[in-house]
Structure 1
Amino acid sequence: MSLPSTVTRAIDTALDKVVPAGYSSIGPTLRRHWWPADPPEHSLVGKHVVVTGASRGLGLAAATDLARLGAVVHLLGRDQARLDEAAAGLRLAVPNADVRPETCDVSDLDAVRAYATRTLEQVPELHALIHNAGVMPPARSESAQGTELTLATHVVGPLLLTELLRPALRAADDARVLIMSSGGMYSAPLDSALADDLQYREGTYRGIRAYARTKRLQVLLGEQLAARLADDGVAVHSMHPGWASTEGIAESMPGFARAIRPILRDAHSGADTLVWLTAAPEAATTSGLFWSDRRPRSTSYLPWTSEDPVLRRRVWDAIAALAGIEHAPA
């Protein structure tokens, strides 16, 4: 017998607050008993989906599951050889999948412009653009245009790519833009310290801190893009995957990965909400939300916390300027 919705909601919320339970494999094991139904089989047949950072980890897991639903999957990454290897493995897992590995470093705005130009020529209608590419450099470095690398990869490049692909997204019936953020964003509030040092030039640079800061900015990006693309009929959402076992987490945070290995989600479980948001019809009925395990979540750990709208506007203007986008309404 199913539990009443009030009970499941209370349990679900409690899991969010008890982070090791909600973020680990325990979360989806419990939540799948009450979360929304899987997308219809073959629901993405013939629909084009672009996945950045798709040569491994969560991106490749999402791409594989999207291919199972029939999507034409464009795998984006920086290394063509790695992309080709990923595409070959995906085709073994999903025979007859239409997979297109394509090189694009999303931190490089020139590469983003070139890729967008090619894509608009080949893909008149784009069902989903999934921003999954991620980096966590140990020392401060910069993109080809001189932007701090995590900011360029997680926020500036994705903003420009979305803007350039708007015609193809607008042409689709129920297009979505999805952003893979992280639960780590809860540790990095959008405050004056972040606004005053967006490029992380001050103090001692820490890769994990830069990662958390830009993951917070991705949530802002999702909210602002939702407003920006509303008239285009494009839904925009951000989400976090919980603690998933990937090469990225093993390389960037080896101690943490070893300590929690028994309760890590696998990559497909971490990518589940991303796939659901891409394919489920109900995901296109809202926009600008932050999700985990198929449910919208608060963007602050403490429910009474709010962000200064003046700081939000200032940060958004700065990000838009770095992307070369003018007149970006908040």
Structure 2
Amino acid sequence: MLDTIADRLVVPGYSKWGHRLRKRNWSDPEPDALRGATAVVTGASSGIGKAAAAGLARLGAEVVLAVRDGRKGEAARAEIVAAVPGATVLVRHCDLSDLDSVRRFAAETDRLDVLVHNAGVLPQERTVTADGHELTFATHVLGPLLLTDLLRPLLVASPDPRVVFVSSGGMYTQRLRADDPEYREGTYRGATAYARTKRMQVALVPLLTERYASDGIAVHGMHPGWADTPGVSGSLPGFHKLTRTFLRTAEEGADTIVWLAATSPRGGGFWHDRRERPAHVLPGTAEQPEDVAAFWRYCTEAAGLR
């Protein structure tokens, strides 16, 4: 009951207090839970992505940091290896907003058990990628969708394949905008674009769960709560200044990512702090079947899925 109340009140549940309240009832995965597994984490050069990569490495996984900036990726790799002696950590270029970059990364990948979609952007003005798509939509939706589908054969070959979409609690404020997925209408706001596309990620989870049902691929969505990361301080300085005294650490934000990867509960759910949560809490945000169908048609065509 306390957990649910904290979740609905937002601040108690999303802050460091919520994590510390809940963790008293948790048990950690086995120390070698991911021994022999290969994990790819996108956007792993800092913040929650880097913390998730370190957590996966601690459990024995070989971790690939899929990053846009190789220099930052190498710095993150050095930090992880220093913190987890003996860890195998690789750095490879992948820009989720560039579909050709996604295709190259997938073509060069030869093994995969865990795929974590963490890469994120929050532009201050509407930006169009080389493929002609709005930047947050390309980075959070089209790139991850294409990458997952291209890596599907490798995931099928894994004994326990898992895909984790790192969404945001901000998605609760938005409905699925199947009518305007590229944010062409109205005044563009970066924070709104971010929340909209994070809602889209949550909408993808049941769709991909159904698509991969016969393959045994568990697809999860989650949100990390409010964590003190370079992305938050750089993109939302006002929010960071207001909330920094009770923000979580990046490691606390990444905990559920690592837990999902290590324990592999049933797919199709949306998680926060190791518990499945409702995908909607505000009136008027629930998806209608026709909107989901239109969204899926648009995404699969834009990403070039068969």
Match of 1:143 among 106, 112, 129: 129
> Does 2:238 correspond to 1:258?
no
Opposite residue 61 of structure 2, the aligned amino acid is: A
- Deviating above 6 A after TM superposition, structure 1's stretches of 4 or more consecutive aligned residues are none
Q: How does 1:65-84 map to 2 (within 5 A)?
A: 65-84=55-74
Q: Which residue of 2 aligns with 1:219?
A: 202
- Distance, in Å, in 2 between the alignment partners of 1:140 and 1:254 is 19
Deviation at 1:167, TM superposition (A): 0.8
Over 3 Å counting, the alpha-carbon distance change for 1:304 and 1:145 in structure 2 is closer
Q: Which residue of 1 aligns with 2:161?
A: 175
Amino-acid identity (%): 53
Deviation string for 1:213-242 (max 9, x for gaps)? Answer: 000000011111111111111100000000
Deviation string for 1:182-236 (max 9, x for gaps)? Answer: 000001112xxx2221111111110000000000000011111111111111100
Q: Which residue of 2 aligns with 1:157?
A: 143
Deviation at 1:89, TM superposition (A): 1.1
Kept in 1: contact 2:172–2:282 (CA 8 A): no
Match of 1:33 among 24, 36, 40: 24
The SS at the match of 1:196 is coil
Deviation string for 1:75-130 (max 9, x for gaps)? Answer: 0110111111111111111111100000110111111111101103xx2xx11000
- Distance, in Å, in 2 between the alignment partners of 1:43 and 1:299 is 28
Deviation at 1:34, TM superposition (A): 2.4
Deviation at 1:57, TM superposition (A): 0.4
Deviation at 1:65, TM superposition (A): 1.0
Q: Which residue of 2 aligns with 1:233?
A: 216
Deviation at 1:33, TM superposition (A): 2.1
The SS at the match of 1:203 is coil
Rg larger for: 1
Q: Which residue of 1 aligns with 2:33?
A: 43
Q: Which residue of 2 aligns with 1:206?
A: 189
- Distance, in Å, in 1 between the alignment partners of 2:47 and 2:180 is 30
Deviation at 1:302, TM superposition (A): 4.1
Structure 1: stretches of 5+ with no match in the other structure: 1-9
| Count of matched residue pairs | 306
- Distance, in Å, in 1 between the alignment partners of 2:71 and 2:86 is 21
Q: Please, what TM-score do these two structures have when normalized by structure 2?
A: 0.98
Deviation string for 1:259-317 (max 9, x for gaps)? Answer: 1111000000000000000011xx34x11100000000001114896321011111111
The SS at the match of 2:64 is strand
Q: Please, what TM-score do these two structures have when normalized by structure 1?
A: 0.91
Opposite residue 7 of structure 2, the aligned amino acid is: D
Q: Which residue of 1 aligns with 2:91?
A: 101
